[in-house]
A and B are shown apart, each in its own frame.
Chain A
Amino acid sequence: MAQQSASGPNVVQVKGLGPGFWQVTAVLTVLSLINAWYFLFGSIDWMMPGSAHPVADSTYNIDGLFKFMAVFGNAIMIFVGGYVIYFAIVFRARASDPPDTIGVQIHDAPKLEFWWVVLPTLLLIVLTWISIVVWYKIQFGPAVPALTTEVVGHQFYFEYRYPGLKTSVFSKTEPMHLPVGVPVRILITSADVLHQFWVPEIRLKAAAVPGLVQNLNFTPLQVGTYDIVCSEFCGIDHSKMQGKMIIEPVAAFNTWLSGEKKAAAAAAASGAVDLTSGTADAGKALFTQKCSACHQIAPFDQKLVGPGLLHVTDDPAHPALVDGKPPTPANIAEILSKGYTGPIGAMPSAQANGLSAADIANLTAYLASLK
Chain B
Amino acid sequence: MQTGQTSTHDTHDAHGAADHIHPPPEGFVAKYIFSLDHKVIGFQYFITALLMMMIAGSFAELIRLQLTDPKGAIMSNDTYNVMFSMHGTAMVWLMLIPMVTGALGNFVMPLQIGARDVAFPWLNMVSFWIFPVAAVILFSSLLFGGPHAGWTEYPPISLADGTAGALWCLAIFTIGISSTMTGLNFMVTIIKMRAPGMTWTRMPLFVWATFATALMNMFATVALSAAVGALFIEHVFNVPFFDATRGGSAVLYEHMFWFYSHPAVYIFIIPAFGIVSEVLPTFARKPIFGYKVIAFSSMAIALLSFTVWAHHMFPSGLAPWLQIPFMILTYAIGIPTGIKVFSWVATLWGGRIHYSTSMLYALGFLITFTFGGITGIFLASVPVDLHEHGTYFVVAHFHYVVGGGAVMGFLAAIPYWYPKATGRMMSERLGKLGFWLFFIGLNGTFLPMHWLGLEGMPRRYATYEYFAKAFPDAVFWNRFETAFSFLMVASVGLLVFNAIWSLRHGKIAGINPWGARTLEWTISSPPPYYNFKKIPQVYDRPYDFDKPLPYGNLDNQTEPFPEYGKVVMPVPTPAGA
Chain A residue nearest to B513 (CB atoms) is: A1
**C-alpha gap A292/B246 in the complex (Å):** 7
Query: Quick one: given A107-B289, A230-B458, are A91 and B284 in contact (CB under 8 Å)?
Result: yes
Q: Are A87 and B335 in contact (CB under 8 A)?
A: no
When distances are taken between beta carbons in the complex, the residues of chain A under 8 Å from B384 are 62, 65-66, 69, 131
Residue in A11, A69, A92 whose beta carbon sits within 8 Å of that of B378 in the complex: A69
Chain B residue nearest to A137 (CB atoms) is: B383
Q: Are B290 and A49 in contact (CB under 8 A)?
A: no
When distances are taken between beta carbons in the complex, the residues of chain A under 8 Å from B378 are 66, 69, 73
Residue in A4, A74, A91, A132 whose beta carbon sits within 8 Å of that of B350 in the complex: A91
Q: Are A239 and B462 in contact (CB under 8 A)?
A: yes
**C-alpha gap A85/B459 in the complex (Å):** 33
When distances are taken between beta carbons in the complex, the residues of chain B under 8 Å from A58 are 383
Interface residues of B in 438-467 (CB under 8 A from A): 450-451, 454-456, 458-467
Distance from A7 Cβ to chain B, minimum over Cβ atoms (Å): 12
A334 interfacial contact with B, CB 8 Å: no
A229 interfacial contact with B, CB 8 Å: yes
Q: Are A106 and B289 in contact (CB under 8 A)?
A: yes
Interface residues of B in 537-557 (CB under 8 A from A): 544-546, 548
Identify the stretch in B49-57, B256-264, B385-393, B479-487 within 8 Å (CB) of chain A at 4 or more residues.
B385-393
When distances are taken between beta carbons in the complex, the residues of chain B under 8 Å from A48 are 454-455
Distance from B121 Cβ to chain A, minimum over Cβ atoms (Å): 33
Q: Are A77 and B371 in contact (CB under 8 A)?
A: yes
Query: Quick one: given A196-B315, A210-B245, A237-B77, are A77 and B287 in contact (CB under 8 Å)?
Result: no
Binary flags per residue of B365-380, CB closer than 8 Å to A gives 1, else 0? 0110011001101100
Q: Are B381 and A193 in contact (CB under 8 A)?
A: no
Interface residues of A in 186-236 (CB under 8 A from B): 192-194, 196, 198, 200, 203-207, 209-212, 214, 227, 229-236
**C-alpha gap A128/B331 in the complex (Å):** 8
When distances are taken between beta carbons in the complex, the residues of chain A under 8 Å from B418 are none
Residue in A8, A87, A196 whose beta carbon sits within 8 Å of that of B345 in the complex: A87
When distances are taken between beta carbons in the complex, the residues of chain B under 8 Å from A345 are none
Identify the stretch in A30-38, A113-121, A246-254, A321-329 within 8 Å (CB) of chain B at 4 or more residues.
A113-121
Interface residues of B in 156-197 (CB under 8 A from A): 156-157, 160
Identify the stretch in A97-105, A168-176, A269-277 within 8 Å (CB) of chain B at 4 or more residues.
A97-105
Q: Are A9 and B546 in contact (CB under 8 A)?
A: yes
Interface residues of A in 284-298 (CB under 8 A from B): 288, 292-293, 296
**C-alpha gap A169/B328 in the complex (Å):** 40
Q: Are A192 and B77 in contact (CB under 8 A)?
A: no
Question: How many chain B residues touch A (Cβ–Cβ < 8 Å)?
Answer: 94
Q: Are A194 and B156 in contact (CB under 8 A)?
A: yes
A147 interfacial contact with B, CB 8 Å: no
A contact residues, range: 35 or more
B471 interfacial contact with A, CB 8 Å: yes
Residue in A77, A140, A231 whose beta carbon sits within 8 Å of that of B458 in the complex: A231
Q: Are A131 and B546 in contact (CB under 8 A)?
A: no
Q: Are A200 and B456 in contact (CB under 8 A)?
A: yes
A40 interfacial contact with B, CB 8 Å: no
Q: Are B286 and A103 in contact (CB under 8 A)?
A: yes
**C-alpha gap A351/B118 in the complex (Å):** 68
A144 interfacial contact with B, CB 8 Å: no
Q: Are B290 and A108 in contact (CB under 8 A)?
A: yes
When distances are taken between beta carbons in the complex, the residues of chain A under 8 Å from B339 are 113, 116-117
**C-alpha gap A134/B384 in the complex (Å):** 9
Q: Are B386 and A87 in contact (CB under 8 A)?
A: no
When distances are taken between beta carbons in the complex, the residues of chain A under 8 Å from B561 are none
Q: Are B331 and A109 in contact (CB under 8 A)?
A: no
Q: Are B157 and A234 in contact (CB under 8 A)?
A: yes
A240 interfacial contact with B, CB 8 Å: yes
Query: Quick one: given A93-B354, A236-B78, are A293 and B461 in contact (CB under 8 Å)?
Result: no
Q: Are B245 and A105 in contact (CB under 8 A)?
A: no
Q: Are B451 and A46 in contact (CB under 8 A)?
A: yes
Distance from A68 Cβ to chain B, minimum over Cβ atoms (Å): 9
Residue in B335, B355, B461 whose beta carbon sits within 8 Å of that of A92 in the complex: B355
**C-alpha gap A269/B320 in the complex (Å):** 42
Distance from A176 Cβ to chain B, minimum over Cβ atoms (Å): 16
Q: Are A210 and B456 in contact (CB under 8 A)?
A: no
**C-alpha gap A58/B383 in the complex (Å):** 9
Q: Are B381 and A127 in contact (CB under 8 A)?
A: yes
Query: Quick one: given A135-B382, A233-B149, are A209 and B287 in contact (CB under 8 Å)?
Result: no
**C-alpha gap A245/B141 in the complex (Å):** 40
Chain B residue nearest to A291 (CB atoms) is: B245
A55 interfacial contact with B, CB 8 Å: no
**C-alpha gap A237/B72 in the complex (Å):** 12
A80 interfacial contact with B, CB 8 Å: yes
Q: Are A92 and B353 in contact (CB under 8 A)?
A: yes
When distances are taken between beta carbons in the complex, the residues of chain A under 8 Å from B374 are 73-74, 76-77
Chain A residue nearest to B393 (CB atoms) is: A47
Chain B residue nearest to A234 (CB atoms) is: B157
When distances are taken between beta carbons in the complex, the residues of chain B under 8 Å from A261 are none
A2 interfacial contact with B, CB 8 Å: yes
Q: Are B244 and A131 in contact (CB under 8 A)?
A: no
A61 interfacial contact with B, CB 8 Å: yes
When distances are taken between beta carbons in the complex, the residues of chain A under 8 Å from B548 are 4
A14 interfacial contact with B, CB 8 Å: yes
Interface residues of B in 308-340 (CB under 8 A from A): 315-317, 320, 323-324, 327-328, 331, 334-335, 338-339
Interface residues of A in 42-93 (CB under 8 A from B): 46-49, 58, 61-62, 65-66, 69, 73-74, 76-77, 80-81, 83-84, 87-88, 91-93
Binary flags per residue of B230-267, CB closer than 8 Å to A gives 1, else 0? 00000000000000111101110000000000000000
When distances are taken between beta carbons in the complex, the residues of chain A under 8 Å from B497 are none
Interface residues of A in 258-288 (CB under 8 A from B): 288
Q: Are B150 and A233 in contact (CB under 8 A)?
A: yes
Binary flags per residue of A309-321, CB closer than 8 Å to B gives 1, else 0? 0000000000000
Residue in A69, A81, A104, A121 whose beta carbon sits within 8 Å of that of B335 in the complex: A121
Q: Are A93 and B352 in contact (CB under 8 A)?
A: yes
B133 interfacial contact with A, CB 8 Å: no
Residue in B251, B286, B386, B462 whose beta carbon sits within 8 Å of that of A205 in the complex: B386
Q: Are A231 and B389 in contact (CB under 8 A)?
A: yes
B33 interfacial contact with A, CB 8 Å: no
A369 interfacial contact with B, CB 8 Å: no
Query: Quick one: given A77-B370, A91-B353, A200-B387, are A102 and B289 in contact (CB under 8 Å)?
Result: no
**C-alpha gap A288/B247 in the complex (Å):** 12
Distance from A185 Cβ to chain B, minimum over Cβ atoms (Å): 13
Chain A contact residues, CB within 8 Å of chain B: 1-4, 8-9, 11-12, 14, 17-18, 46-49, 58, 61-62, 65-66, 69, 73-74, 76-77, 80-81, 83-84, 87-88, 91-93, 97, 101-109, 112-113, 116-117, 120-121, 124, 127-128, 131-132, 134-135, 138-140, 192-194, 196, 198, 200, 203-207, 209-212, 214, 227, 229-240, 242, 288, 292-293, 296, 304
Can you give 6 contacting A-B residue pairs, CB < 8 Å?
Answer: A84-B366, A91-B350, A109-B346, A120-B338, A128-B328, A231-B389
Further pairs besides A12-B352, A87-B348, A233-B154: 7, Cβ < 8 Å: A18-B349, A84-B348, A91-B284, A127-B377, A194-B156, A205-B315, A292-B246
Chain B contact residues, CB within 8 Å of chain A: 77-78, 81, 148-150, 154, 156-157, 160, 244-247, 249-251, 284-287, 289-291, 293, 315-317, 320, 323-324, 327-328, 331, 334-335, 338-339, 341-343, 345-346, 348-355, 363, 366-367, 370-371, 374-375, 377-378, 381-384, 386-387, 389-391, 450-451, 454-456, 458-467, 470-471, 512-515, 544-546, 548
Q: Closest 5 interchain pairs by CB?
A: A211-B244, A104-B350, A200-B456, A1-B515, A103-B286
